[in-house]
Structure 1
Amino acid sequence: MGKYFGTDGFRGEANKDLTVEQAYRVGRFIGHFYGKNPRDKKRCRVVIGKDTRRSSYMFEYALVSGLTASGADVYLLHVTTTPSVSYVVRTEEFDCGIMISASHNPYYDNGIKILNGRGEKLEDEVSDKIEEYLDGKYGEIAFALREQIGRTTDYAAGRNRYIGYLISVATRSFKGKKVALDCANGSASSIAKNVFDALGAETYVINNLPDGVNINVNCGSTHMEGLCSFVKENGCDVGFAYDGDADRCLAVDEDGKLVDGDKILYICGKYMKENSSLPNNTVVTTIMSNLGLYKAFDREGISYEKTAVGDRFVYENMQTNGHYLGGEQSGHIIFSKHATTGDGILTSLKIMEVILEKKESLKKLASEVEIYPQVLKNVRVKDKKAAQEDEEVVRKTEEISKRLGDDGRILMRASGTEPVIRVMVEAKTTEICESSVDEVIKVISERGLMS
């Protein structure tokens, strides 16, 4: 990760960690970089979407100013989802796309996600160059003059085409199904209900009245309690919750029980295998997926790969090895036949496909995975590398791993953004998890490694 750009773009508190001046300069560089060798000698074309945060408009205007000043033409999708920007970029031959969002973060944070011409997250070498320019190490960029100055176009039509694409993905009508959607007062508010209504569902929507400061507040995929209660109280067949920019989806069964990303991977992976649409018979997960998922995959004869945490790493593995399904426990699910990013609304459509084609409830489909209790604790340390490699800490984790055997696992990893070590244990009972994690933390403390 760089100084400004992490695994999911440039993110931080608006006007504190991420400023209007920085957004303007990002726009200046992007317009310059993609304008150097424009496709077929045409002008550089950039499409921009944003979520519902109050600061998203401010950053949109700053980016547009920078881009047009460097000679790029800008197309505005307005409030839309991250996957819709990705779709428009790759299907309509834009040089790149920009999504203004801090995903599941609080409203006062915001971010700039840049997608390349294939709708994928920007290559590190390009973000490194942007950082050089932000720090004054790249050199000056000339302003466009006269007819070379860029222009801005309203492009809501692009978002509508994405909605049409989502509708086309469905294999059956949703008529007769009561579906609840939690739009997190975010990007999905402008899209999700239109899709489910068009497919014939009896659609119930909550948290779809964004006011600039209520995005992700006690709602969406990071706060599932409201949707769980709503589904049960209103007799819905299924519920889906999205995050702020709708690249995540978590589900709720008819009893109001959570169906997380791991269970979604199992449900869709098993169905795809049964229909010969799971190339390499492999699903890509991260190291944080639950042990219960792997045991279920083993039982069904489905192979799996594990990557570092982050949907970017999941997609890179899928792209390199030709896999069609991958994702995270948090609900970032990627169907590479249809998308190059996680897409929450697409994920909910694929779950509906399994429910309808197999004629089974989500509760029944999800019951085949036994999720193991998991305890994760964060430990603030003086030096992450020293804590992870300390011989006594390593000895203790090996001892616990041997003790857990095939009925559990221990994982210790460093945070990418804080001086924190995360200690996670999965086992048959929460008590075993708690005591095992505490044993490791005690050794870290006794060795004087905690800050």
Structure 2
Amino acid sequence: MGKYFGTDGFRGEANVVLTVEHAFKVGRYLGWYYGQEHKARIVIGKDTRRSSYMFEYALAAGLTASGADAYLLHVTTTPSVSYMVRTEDFDCGIMISASHNPYYDNGIKVINSKGQKLEAEVEAKVEAYIDGESGEIPLAKKEAIGRTVDYAAGRNRYIGHLISLATRSFKDVKVGLDCSNGSSSSIAKSVFDALGAKTYVINNEPDGTNINTNCGSTHINVLQEYVKENGLDVGFAYDGDADRCIAVDENGNVVDGDLILYVCGKYMKEHGQLKDDTIVTTIMSNLGLYKACDKIGMKYEKTQVGDKYVYENMVKNGFMLGGEQSGHIIFSKHATTGDGILTSLMLMEVIMETKQSLGQLTEEVKIYPQLLKNVRVADKKTARENPEVVKAVDAVAEALGDDGRILVRESGTEPVIRVMVEAATDELCEKYVTQVIDVIEKEGLIVE
């Protein structure tokens, strides 16, 4: 990770960590970098945060000052920006969003011409320019100055693309959508309405400060209650920029990323669409997913936490399906990034084609109770490799055997060690997590 750009772009509190000056400089550099041999074309999308407008204008000013043309998609989803970059020959795309973070945070995510996250070496060059380490770059003059283009039509093309992926009508299916007062508010209902669903929508009235507030995929209980109260067949909840999806079955039960991977993976395997019968997961996926996969002969890869690592594995091996428990699901035939609305459509395909409810499709998977606790430490590596801590972790692993697992890992963004246990009961999870944390504390590794 760089000084400003983390695993998911340049993110932080608006005008505190990420300022309007930062946005202008990002635009200035990208406009110049991609415009050295031709007039650069760069597409910009944003979510519904109040600060997104400010960053959109700052980025556009920087881009046009460097000679690039900035195409404005306005409020749209991160995956739609990725789609437009890939299909409309843009040099790069920029999404203004802090995903599932609170409204007062924001972020700048840059997407390369292949629709993937920007290469680390280019991010490093942007950072050097922000800090004044790479010298000044020329301002465009006369006819070389760029312009902004209203590109709402691009968002409509993306909506048309999603609709075209459906294999059959959703007529008479009662579908609930929680749009998180975010990016999906401008897209999701149109897609489901066009496909014939009886669409019930909540949290689709963004006001600039209510994005992710007690709604969406990070507050799934809201949709659970809504599905049960209205007798809906299925529900889908998205995060702020709609690259994640968490589903709810007809009984109000949560269907997270692990269960989505199972349902879609099994269906694709049965239809010869799953390369090597393999899905890609992260090390945080539930043990219940792996046990269910073993029963049906579906193989799995495990990567570090982060959709970036999932996608890298998929590209390297040509796999078709991968994702995270959080609902970042990648269908590589259709997208290069997680796409919440696309994920809903793929789940709907399985429901419609198998004529089974989502509850029936997931009943074969027994999800193990899981407990994760973060421990703030002085030095992550020292804490994780401490002999007594290692001994305590090994003892828990032995006690759990095949009926659970323990995972202790260093956070990539904070000075904390994450201790996670899966076991047959919540009580066992609590017991074993506490057992390991007590040893970390006894060894004097915890800081307040």
Per the shorter chain, which TM-score range?
over 0.9
Which residue identity does 2:321 align to in structure 1?
L
In the TM superposition, 1:292-441 aligns within 5 A as: 292-441=288-437
1:61 correspondence with 2:63: no
Map 1:48-447 onto structure 2 (within 5 A).
48-447=44-443
> TM-score with structure 2 length normalisation?
0.99
Alpha-carbon distance between aligned partners in 2 of 1:416 and 1:69, rounded to the nearest angstrom: 36
**TM-score, scaled relative to structure 1:** 0.98
* Cα deviation 1:290-321 (Å, max 9, x = unaligned): 00000011111111111111111111110111
Local SS of the residue matching 2:128 = helix
Q: Deviations over 1:59-106 (max 9, x none)?
A: 000000111111111100000000000000000000000000000000
Task: Note if 1:33 corresponds to 2:33.
Answer: yes
CA distance in structure 2 between the aligned counterparts of 1:81 and 1:37, rounded to whole angstroms: 30
Residues 348-380 of structure 1: CA distance to partner in whole angstroms, max 9, x if unpaired? 000000000000000000111100010110101
The 1-side partners of 2:9 and 2:89 are apart by 22
Report the CA distance between 1:428 and its aligned residue.
Answer: 0.9
Shift of 1:135: 1.4
The DSSP-based 3-state class of the residue aligned with 1:435 is: helix
The CA distance in 1 between the partners of 2:246 and 2:130, in whole Å, is 37
Letter in 2 for 1:25: K
**Partner in structure 1 of residue 9 of structure 2:** 9
Q: Which runs of at least 4 in structure 1 moved beyond 6 Å after TM superposition?
A: none
How far 1:252 sits from its partner (Å)? 0.5
SS of 2:34's equivalent in the other structure is: helix
Alpha-carbon distance in structure 1 between the residues aligned to 2:78 and 2:41:
18
Residue in 2 that maps onto 1:20: 20
Deviation at 1:281, TM superposition (A): 1.1
Distance in 1 separating the partners of 2:226 and 2:371: 28
Shift of 1:14: 0.1
Write the distance in 1 (CA, Å) between the matches of 2:292 and 2:109: 35
How far the C-alpha of 1:249 sits from its partner, in A, is 0.3
The CA distance in 2 between the partners of 1:16 and 1:416, in whole Å, is: 22
Question: d(CA) in 2 for partners of 1:117 and 1:370?
Answer: 41
Query: Number of aligned pairs?
Result: 447
Deviations 1:173-227 (A, max 9, x none): 0001000000000000000000000000000000000000000000000001111
Summarize deviations over 1:129-174 as a string: whole Å, max 9, x none.
1111111111111111111111100000000000000000000100
Give the secondary-structure state (helix, strand or coil) at the position aligned to 1:35. coil
Alpha-carbon distance in structure 1 between the residues aligned to 2:375 and 2:433: 11
Within 1, Cα distance between the matches of 2:225 and 2:137? 54
Aligned AA for 1:2? G
1-structure distance, mates of 2:190, 2:305: 32
- CA–CA separation in structure 2 for the residues paired with 1:127 and 1:308: 21
After TM superposition, give the deviation of residue 418 of structure 1 in Å. Answer: 1.2
In 1, the alpha carbon distance for the partners of 2:392 and 2:3 equals: 34
- Which shows bigger deviation, 87-96 or 132-141? 132-141
CA deviations over 1:385-418 (Å, ceiling 9, x no partner)? 1101111111111111111111111101111121
Q: What per-residue deviation string (whole Å, max 9, x for no partner) do you get for residues 229-250 of structure 1?
A: 1111101100000000000000
**Unpaired stretches in structure 1, ≥5 consecutive residues:** none
Cα deviation, residue 37, structure 1: 3.3
